Structure 1
Amino acid sequence: MYRIQQVKLPIDHKEDDLWIKAAEALRIKKEDIKDVSIFRKSIDARKKDEILFIYALDVETYKNVKISKRNTNVSLVEPFIYDVEVTGEKELNNRPVVVGSGPAGLFCALLLAEKGYRPIILERGRMVEDRVKDVEKFWKDGILNVRSNIQFGEGGAGTFSDGKLNTLIKDRSKRGKKVLEEMIEAGAPAEIAYVNKPHIGTDLLRNVIVNIRKKIISLGGTFRFEECLTDIMIKDDAVYRIITENDIIETDVLVLAIGHSARDTFEMLNSKLKLEAKPFAIGLRIEHPQKMINEAQYGEMAGNPLLGPADYKFVHKSKNGRSVYTFCMCPGGVVTASSSEEGGVITNGMSFYDRDLENANSAIVVQISPEDFGGLEAPLAGVEFQRYWERKAYEAGGGNYRAPVQLFKDFKEKKISASFGEIYPTYRPGCTFANLWDCLPDYVCESIAEGITAFGKLLANFDRPDAILTGVETRTSSPVRITRNSEMQASIKGIYPCGEGSGYAGGIMSAAIDGLKVAEQILKIYKPFKEQE
């Protein structure tokens, strides 16, 4: 198979044009091509009057083709199939337990189930179908279910997001391909396998999660919802039993695929495992009209359905030395109330697959280091740092999980806004005008004000006076890392920290990939589980 890079075509091209371009690149007739598939697709919008699609194509031919060494855009590649062998020799006395059903937990459990290990998956929250109802009730009435919300429940926090599937991690073992193929099999659109910035959207992602759960069950896995891990029993420096609110479970393999908001679990683990504070970021959500973003990025071609809604990604080094950057940008989406504890306000962003709502939103966040919150001495200090500012936001919003909001022009002047401009906030249960400088450290607010102004030079009107800022965004990643060794085990044998909550991922794809990596390590040590007669 031949891979052809840098195939450029107008956005309104025909499918046959891909075959023509492939034949030209290989210097053969189109009739000599057996098949053409898209390996990667991206948009080149540098010239607003000539926006192009850029393809990488995989081409199968009926005969061998001689490739010129001077043609660096053509290479010979082998199809890659993800498969790992079971090489472990150690007997499992009990079924492995995976704590958490976010992307890391689901894909760890999936691989274990495929190889005959019959994992038990514990999830403190509810299954997707029930969780959606709890979240909607919270958004409508301000009634928070601390066990079933945007942070807790089947699918993890990413279930209520834009469903982004891009990742910056290197993936030489092609685990990402496995993740995408499983998602497509579970109902995700086929395009996620090749578009440059794939996303599913919260509406499609929910169904994908349900179908992955059903597949794991069909392979021998067991899900136990509304069951929270409360303690771990250790003997001879190894796990042998865990305790939940409802049961005592014997196990010699425990995967901790907990979420970044599992604060009570962090507290329990702090006396048993080696934890360390890690950097994260905090800030605010900003909203603009999606139409404005489209026009700034695509010019006269804005609104063309072939292009879809435009996005952006910016970073700026502020005068105080801190990085401020956009995070989890959601085209055509909403700002979501994402609290998991009573008395705290947290924001996040969410889009549906079509990304067709009026506002675009993104977090504008500033990097925080353990030195900022005393994390060098106390592993859980970052949790308290987050909690402090979440409660400040709750107070500023006036209670009932209303969020504090401020227009950008007033934010710069530390003045409470009096009225909205052309943009209205999408956050539910509601908003209250407040001074957001009361909800974050000054150095964060200074960086945000400077950053938004700088971003206005990169995207027209990004710093418009009536841009809406909503606070606060504190759960960008876990404030804690559970240390693990080269075999991916914690300081206690048989315990495998995994995914975003344990400090080893940041987003759906990287968490799912980490779940596969942990499962692979288990396959190297243990045989598949068999019931003792």
Structure 2
Amino acid sequence: MLRLDQVKLSLQESENDLQKKILKKLKIRASDLQSFALYRKNIDARHHQLYFSYSIDVCVKDEKAILAKKLTNVRKLEPKAQAPLHPGIVELHTRPIIVGFGPAGMFCALQLAQMGYRPRVFERGSQVEKRIKDVDAFYQKGVLNEESNIQFGEGGAGTFSDGKLTARTKDVRVQRVYDMFVQHGAPNEILYDAYPHIGSDILVEVTKRMREEIIALGGSIHFDSKVEALLIEADVCKGIIVNKQEIYSDVVVLALGNSSRDSFQAFHAQGVLMESKPFAVGVRIEHTQKAINEALYHSYAGHDSLPQASYRLTHNVEGTGVYTFCMCPGGQVVAATSKEGHVVVNGMSNYARDKENANAAILVQVDERDYGEGIFKGMEFQEKLERLAYTLGGSNYKAPAQRVSEFLEDASDGEMIEPSYPLGVTYTNLRKLLPANIVYKMQEGIKAFQKKNAAFKNGNAILTGVETRSSSPIRICRNEKMESTSTAHLYPIGEGSGYAGGITSSAIDGLKCAEVIISKYNNEGCK
């Protein structure tokens, strides 16, 4: 198989023209082309002329003859395949337990179920149908369910996001994750789009189908089932206590979300080794999507064949990273708290990305120099900011907000932006929300972004706070076999455990863990 890079189509051309482009690039006849498939699709907007740029995998009759031509951007593709999975020889006496049903837990459970291990999943939050109702009740009445919300429940926090599948790893499991999503109803274009996304509305249905397959294969999923403690004897995890019941297993997978603060503290008190890790805090910024399209597509903005534009910006201020995160085109800012008396923001988009505003987090990296030494000092720092955001918002779950010009203390203006946070905002001074050094770094970051993206020059863009849950403030220590360094038979995985960031990397970590379990244990005791 050959891979062709930089096959370009203008906006006036369609993908039906790709075959002609391939034949011309390879200098062959149609009869010499056996098949082709899209590998990657991107938008090249670096120059005045805007193109779609494709990488395409091609099968031809005479591969050697084409390679002998030494054509530019044509290369032989060396296949990368995972070694087949074979059950191990250690007897597994009980079905494996998975704590948490976000992306890491879900993909671990699905892989185990497909290999006959019939996992038992325990999720503190509700299944997605009830979860949607609970989130809507919070938006409409301001009544928060601390166990069923944007953070906790089936699918994890990623269910109420954009369903972005950004992967900055070359792990061969990336394609496996995308394939599994498509098999359960995700749009086919995630297989080749350079910036794949599912959309929250479709992700809800995909999550339900994954749940249904796990159950059909003999697994079980227990919602509204918060694990209260681990059963640990002589530094070996023997099971869990959930709903006041002791449930035993030779394998316990901890797939917690990064908001599971009470669980971190409870398990640490039982002797599970953890450490503090750096993370980031900040706010959400909103512009109109029209302004983002114009800033990135210029005169092509509004063309029917173009998707909503997105961006990713970074800057370094005195050795600290300031960056945009989880950019949601045509989306909204959401109320993402899981604790009464706290305000947390995040962003989400549906598949169509057709709402008026675009939003993204602007985050500043923080570490022990900002919040002090101690395993839970970072977590306590997050909580302090969330409580202050609640107070500044009016102590009614409205979010504190401010125009960029006021935050930067300059006189710039521009089109007015209507905030999309569902419970309303209270305009206030966000410089009172964040520590002075973080405010300074964020201000410098925004000024740098104004030079990179014209939409950021609008002083009326809205900042809404506070964003604290982009990654976990702790890491549950594990070895190269993914097993806790302090507690045998305990497998901490995913974002909450400190080993992933986002849907794709969490799903990959879940698959890796399933492979470790399968390679070690047979499934005879799971039948």
Indicate the TM-score class for this superposition, using the shorter chain for normalisation. Answer: over 0.9
Aligned equivalent of 1:89: 89
Structure 1 counterpart of 2:446 = 452
Identify the residue that residue 190 of structure 2 maps to in structure 1. 192
Q: Aligned partners of 2:438 and 2:401: how far apart in 1?
A: 16
How far, CA to CA, are the matches of 1:71 and 1:294 in structure 2? 35
CA positional deviation for 1:420: 11
Q: Which runs of 4+ in 1 moved over 4 A?
A: 78-83
Deviations 1:63-116 (A, max 9, x none): 444213733522233655656312411111111001111010000011111111
Maintained 8 Å contact 2:119/2:219: yes
Which residue pairs with 2:284 in the alignment?
285
Q: Conserved in 2, the CA contact under 8 Å of 1:414 and 1:437?
A: no
Instruction: Indicate the residue corresponding to 2:144 in structure 1.
Output: 144
| Alignment counterpart, residue 395 of structure 1, candidates 387, 391, 395 | 391
* Partner residue, 1:469: 463
The 2-side partners of 1:127 and 1:57 are apart by 39
* 2:350 aligned residue: 352
Q: Which amino acid aligns with 1:446?
A: Y
TM-score (norm 1): 0.95
Find the aligned partners of 2:134 and 2:183 in 1 and give their Cα distance: 28
Question: Identity percentage over the alignment?
Answer: 48
In the alignment, does 2:37 pair up with 1:31? no
Structure-2 separation of matches of 1:89 and 1:352: 45
TM-score, scaled to structure 2: 0.96
Name the counterpart of 2:435. 441
Among residues 224, 230, 246, which one is paired with 1:232 in the alignment? 230
Residue 501 of structure 1: aligned partner: 496
| Distance across 1 between alignment mates of 2:201 and 2:263 | 29
Aligned residue for 1:455, secondary structure, equals helix
Quick check: 1:488 aligned with 2:487? no
CA drift of 1:33 comes to 1.2
The aligned counterpart of 1:121 is 121
2:407 alignment partner in structure 1: 411
Change beyond 3 A, Cα 1:420–1:77: closer
**2:210 aligned partner:** 212
Q: Which residue of 2 aligns with 1:314?
A: 313
Amino acid at match of 2:403: L
Q: Equivalent residue for 2:472?
A: 478
State how 1:374-393 maps to structure 2 within 5 Å: 374-375=372-373, 378-393=374-389
Q: Which residue of 1 aligns with 2:176?
A: 178
CA contact (8 A) 2:45 2:51 kept: yes
Classify the secondary structure of the residue corresponding to 1:404.
strand
Which whole-Å CA distance do the structure 2 matches of 1:92 and 1:322 have between them?
47
Deviating more after overlay: 235-244 vs 391-400: 235-244
Give the distance between the partners of 1:408 and 1:246, measured in 2 at CA: 50
Aligned amino acid, residue 265 of structure 2 = E
How far apart are the structure 1 equivalents of 2:145 and 2:136?
Answer: 11
* Alignment check: 8 A CA contact 1:94 1:529 kept: no
CA RMSD of aligned residues (A): 1.9
Residue equivalent to 2:259: 261
Q: Which residue of 2 aligns with 1:11?
A: 11
Partners of 1:102 and 1:156 within 8 A in 2: yes
Q: Aligned pair in 2 of structure 1 residues 54, 399: CA closer, same or farther (>3 Å)?
A: same
Cα distance between partner residues in 2 of 1:221 and 1:500? 23
Cα gap change, 1:420 to 1:148, in 2 (>3 Å) = farther
Q: Is the 8 A contact 1:452 1:463 kept in 2?
A: no
After TM superposition, the structure 1 stretch with the greater mean CA deviation from structure 2, 258-267 or 362-371, is 362-371
- The one-letter code of the counterpart of 1:32 is D
Q: Offset of 1:252 from its aligned partner? A: 1.0
Structure 2 letter corresponding to 1:527? N
**What amino acid is aligned across from residue 462 of structure 2 in structure 1?**
I
Aligned-partner SS, 1:457: helix
Counterpart CA distance in 2 for 1:372 and 1:414 is: 27
Q: C-alpha displacement at 1:414, in angstroms?
A: 10
Shift of 1:442: 1.0
Structure 2 distance, partners of 1:341, 1:463, is: 35
Whether contact under 8 Å (2:150, 2:338) holds in the other structure is yes
Moved more, 119-128 or 449-458: 449-458
Equivalence for 2:517: 522
8 Å contact from structure 2 (residues 118, 526) kept in 1: no
Pick which of 320-329 and 11-20 moved more. Answer: 11-20
| Aligned length, in residue pairs | 524
User: In structure 2, the residue corresponding to 1:465 is in which secondary structure?
Assistant: coil
Could you tell me whether the CA contact under 8 Å between 1:86 and 1:115 is conserved in 2?
Answer: no
Aligned to 1:333: 331
Contact kept, 8 Å, 1:95 with 1:529, in 2: the verdict is no
Q: State the shift of 1:175 in Å.
A: 0.7
AA partner of residue 383 (structure 1): M
Aligned partners of 1:18 and 1:36 also within 8 Å = no
The residue aligned with 2:53 is 54
CA contact (8 A) 1:382 1:479 kept: yes
Alignment CA distance shift 1:291-1:162 (3 Å): same
Report the more deviating stretch, 382-391 or 4-13: 4-13
Q: Which amino acid aligns with 1:399?
A: S
Cα distance in 1 between the residues matched to 2:368 and 2:87: 40
Q: CA deviation at 1:246?
A: 4.1
SS at match of 2:239: strand
Can you give the 5+ residue segments of structure 1 that lack an aligned partner in the other structure? none
Maintained 8 Å contact 1:487/1:521: yes
